[in-house]
Amino acid sequence: MTDILLRAERLGRKLEGEVPVTLVHDIDLDIRHGEFIAITGPSGSGKSSLLYLLGLLDQPTSGRLWLEGVETSSFDENRLADIRLARLGFVFQANFLLPEFSARENVLLPIHRRGRLDDDAARSRAEDLLANLGLKEQADKLPHQMSGGQNQRVAIARALANDPSIILADEPTGNLDTASSAVVQNILRDLARKQGRTVIVVTHDPSFASQSDRTIRIVDGAIA
Amino acid sequence: MKAVLVDVARRHLLARKRQTLVSLSGIVLGTGFFLAISAMMQGSETDFIHRLIDNSPHVTVQDEFRNPRKQPIAELYPAALVQMHRVKPETETRGIRNYKQALNYIRDIPGVKASPVLLGQGLVSFAGKDEALALNGMVPGDVEDVSTIGSYLTEGSLQDLAGNPDGILVGSELARILSLERGESITISATTGQRRAFKIVGIFHTGRAAFDQGQVFLALKRVQALLNRPNRANEIVIKLANPYSAQDVATKIEGRLGYKSVSWQEASEDIMSTLALRNVIMYSVVTAVLLVAAFGIYNVISTVVIEKQRDIAILKSMGFHARDIQAIFLTEGLFLGLLGCGLGLPLGAGIMWGLGQLNFKFPGTTQFNRMPIDWGWKQFAIAGAFALVAAVGAAWLPSRKAAKVKPVDILRGAGA
């Protein structure tokens, strides 16, 4: 039990409206420290919705979710935001970098928001992260001056900025060419294998999913 | 952390230079015109009040009562039912009783200068022309203390009036109409039938044609003789070291002497009300100008919020709070407001300087005047505050909208 990082119990998310839509339902799931998990399934099956629930970006309408043994369903938005800032890192299909900020400044954003490091230490950390991902020369470049693969690596560096224990990636290679996709896959795999972080990836790519410790297949909003 | 929010706000605006400049120019023009118009209006009001204070007594004690005096029997039996019919007041010469005693009491009040005046009507005949005159009988030695007429003398001096018991000060218009010159004599007839010749010892010019034509200043004793009212004054005019204490002083004097004592504020109540109303209209108009400018800011920040939904979503997913997002967009409004002030206030000062160079001839005056402008810091502070409030207020609604963005709604759409 102590090894379990995330636990979902009958987790569900329904969109209310004239025609209610069930995104996911009855998800029972345990995720351990350092696991590399792939979530797969057909389009519209609820993979991303599950990822957003596990990443505390969305609130479940049923069931419960524990992070390191603490039940999170009753937390308000600010508390969830604080947990995301300190414990979680997100990588999305579109890199979602702020276009007016350089690669270094994008990585610095969550560091400055958390406010634990002084300016010099924050800058040094951002540059180390970029250098580790092969982007030392791109630190001062704006997103439009870099390739898609480079942008996605900057997004990974930003996700790692506050040294999170969980990385959640939503189709991180979906917009990349084969070579860039391979680089990003290796980085995410190494984050789990070499750094002991928990990595949860939503992917359509069977070869990427095959590298994971465990694959969770979602069909019609439920674990198949 | 605050520096990050400020940096994001700054870059949002810099990324949209053209839109930012357009909305900024609106707030600059709005602030500039707000300042110039309010400074001009306030300047004219201040100038008007100064003229009012300088050119008229601060308090005038008149030979009448605000309310009819009680009959002695009613005073003796205040609780009794007393009814009197056909009360006929004693006919007496009008004027303030024992005005010298009253004057002594008033002069004992600190910061007060007072002088008795006897006002009356007269007629001057010269070269076949008749002109009605308002006679101002004053103590020549006191004139300088309670009147600014000495500062308007273009010929002669107050000393000449004090040195010649039969001297008279006449206005420039009267002198022009009757072809009078200093040193000449004129004969004034009073309503009592008395006639007396006076020597013109000074000519004044205030710029107000009616005053310069109809008012003359003479020695009190001569007017008393002309009007057949020896030892009488029908007014005591008072100047105060602090003109704004006039209302309090008037109340005190009236309470003690019983005679109606009118402060300059009371005498000009209708004008003061008009000035207040004018201020309301002026501030409404210039606020409308700034509101139009604020709509420009609202437009720009709303556009940024719509364009930046994705960035807002990613900032929130990173762990930024809703209030952080709101602070970013309020900061953008604040930036535009501060820049608007920084450029708008000098623009307004330039317009004020330009207006100050213009010469105007106001109705009822005979000379050109510069546009009075209030250069006080309050005008700048009010204009700056209005601009900031308008700019931040305009950013408020879009910033609230930005704060309410749910990242999942945007991410779900973007990932589809």
* Beta-carbon separation of A48 and B313 below 8 A: no
| Residues contacting residue B378 through CB under 8 Å, at least 6 positions apart | none
Place of tokens 């501060």: B338
pLDDT at position A200 is 95
Taking the Cβ of residue A15 and every Cβ of chain B, the question of whether any pair is shorter than 8 Å is answered with no
Query: Same domain for B163 and B278?
Result: no
**Whether the Cβ atoms of residue A35 and residue A3 lie closer than 8 Å to each other:** no
B296 vs chain A: nearest CA distance in angstroms? 23
- Alpha helices by DSSP H, B110-191: 143-146, 158-163, 172-177
Single-letter code of the amino acid located at B84: M
Closest CA to B300 of B325, B275, B328, B336: B336
B343 vs chain A: nearest CA distance in angstroms? 26
**Whether the Cβ atoms of residue A24 and residue A49 lie closer than 8 Å to each other:** yes
Q: Which of A39, A56, A58 to mutate to test the interface with B (most CBs of B within 10 A)?
A: A58
Query: Same domain for B245 and B337?
Result: no
Taking the Cβ of residue A115 and every Cβ of chain B, the question of whether any pair is shorter than 8 Å is answered with yes
Taking only the tens place, the pLDDT of each residue in A178-193 is 888 898 999 999 999 8
B347 part of a folded domain: yes
pLDDT at position A2 over 60: no
* Beta-carbon separation of A109 and B316 below 8 A: no
Query: Same domain for B49 and B121?
Result: no
B413 vs chain A: nearest CA distance in angstroms? 11
Taking only the tens place, the pLDDT of each residue in B102-127 is 999 999 999 999 999 999 999 987 76
Query: Same domain for B144 and B252?
Result: yes
Query: Same domain for B105 and B185?
Result: yes
Rounded Cα distance between B407 and B319, Å, is 11
B79 part of a folded domain: no
Query: Same domain for B247 and B187?
Result: yes
Query: Same domain for B279 and B406?
Result: yes
Domain termination site, one of B196, B227, B259: B259
**Whether the Cβ atoms of residue A159 and residue A190 lie closer than 8 Å to each other:** no
* Beta-carbon separation of A84 and B318 below 8 A: yes
A92 part of a folded domain: yes
Domain termination site, one of B236, B259, B282: B259
A54 part of a folded domain: yes
Mean per-residue pLDDT, B87-101: 78
pLDDT at position B51 is 80
pLDDT at position A1 is 45
Taking the Cβ of residue B239 and every Cβ of chain A, the question of whether any pair is shorter than 8 Å is answered with no
pLDDT at position B10 over 70: yes
Q: What is the DSSP string of B315-360?
A: HHHHT--HHHHHHHHHHHHHHHHHHHHHHHHHHHHHHHHHHHH-EE
**Whether the Cβ atoms of residue B203 and residue B154 lie closer than 8 Å to each other:** yes
* A99, A108, A171 ranked by CB distance to B415: nearest: A171
pLDDT at position B172 is 94
pLDDT at position B80 is 82
B42 vs chain A: nearest CA distance in angstroms? 46
Query: Same domain for B337 and B380?
Result: yes
Taking only the tens place, the pLDDT of each residue in B36-69 is 988 988 888 888 888 888 878 899 999 888 877 7
Taking the Cβ of residue A204 and every Cβ of chain B, the question of whether any pair is shorter than 8 Å is answered with no
pLDDT at position B415 is 46
Q: Which two tokens stand for residue A124?
A: 């040094």
Taking only the tens place, the pLDDT of each residue in B315-346 is 999 999 999 999 999 999 999 999 999 999 99
pLDDT at position B414 is 55
Choice among A51-65, A107-121, B349-363 with the minimum mean pLDDT? B349-363
End-to-end CA distance of chain B: 33
**Whether the Cβ atoms of residue B313 and residue B407 lie closer than 8 Å to each other:** yes
Full domain range(s) for residue B180: 65-72+92-259
A175 part of a folded domain: yes
B9 vs chain A: nearest CA distance in angstroms? 11
Taking only the tens place, the pLDDT of each residue in B145-178 is 888 888 899 999 888 888 898 999 999 999 998 8
pLDDT at position B59 is 94
Stronger pLDDT, A60 or B301, i.e. the higher one: A60
ipTM above 0.85, yes or no: yes
pLDDT at position B416 over 50: no
| Residues contacting residue A177 through CB under 8 Å, at least 6 positions apart | A148, A149
Taking the Cβ of residue A75 and every Cβ of chain B, the question of whether any pair is shorter than 8 Å is answered with no
B11 part of a folded domain: yes
Q: How many domains does chain A have?
A: 1
Taking the Cβ of residue A113 and every Cβ of chain B, the question of whether any pair is shorter than 8 Å is answered with yes
pLDDT at position B367 is 67
Query: Same domain for B279 and B359?
Result: yes
Full domain range(s) for residue A156: 35-60+70-223
**Residue B208: strand pairing partners:** B365
pLDDT at position A214 is 93
* B 14-53 residues with CB < 8 A to A: 14-15
Taking only the tens place, the pLDDT of each residue in A141-181 is 999 999 999 999 999 999 999 999 999 999 998 888 888 88
Taking only the tens place, the pLDDT of each residue in B351-406 is 999 998 888 776 656 667 788 889 999 989 999 998 899 889 989 999 999 999 98
Query: Same domain for B201 and B104?
Result: yes
Rounded Cα distance between A126 and A158, Å, is 8
Query: Same domain for B321 and B288?
Result: yes
Domain termination site, one of B232, B259, B286: B259
Strands A70-71 and A36-40: unpaired
Q: How many domains does chain B have?
A: 2
pLDDT at position B192 is 86
Q: Average per-residue pLDDT in chain B?
A: 87
B138 part of a folded domain: yes
A13 part of a folded domain: no
A129 part of a folded domain: yes
- CATH code (residue A81): 3.40.50.300
Query: Same domain for B49 and B126?
Result: no
Confidence at B188, pLDDT banded by 50, 70, 90 = very high
pLDDT at position B347 over 90: yes
Show residues of chain A in contact with B20, CB under 8 Å: none
* A48, A49, A110 ranked by CB distance to B318: nearest: A110
Rounded Cα distance between B189 and B18, Å, is 78
Confidence at B79, pLDDT banded by 50, 70, 90 = confident
B142 part of a folded domain: yes
Show residues of chain A in contact with B320, CB under 8 Å: 81, 85, 113
Query: SS3 for B129?
Result: strand
B313 vs chain A: nearest CA distance in angstroms? 9
pLDDT at position A80 over 50: yes
Residue of A nearest to B15 (CA): A100
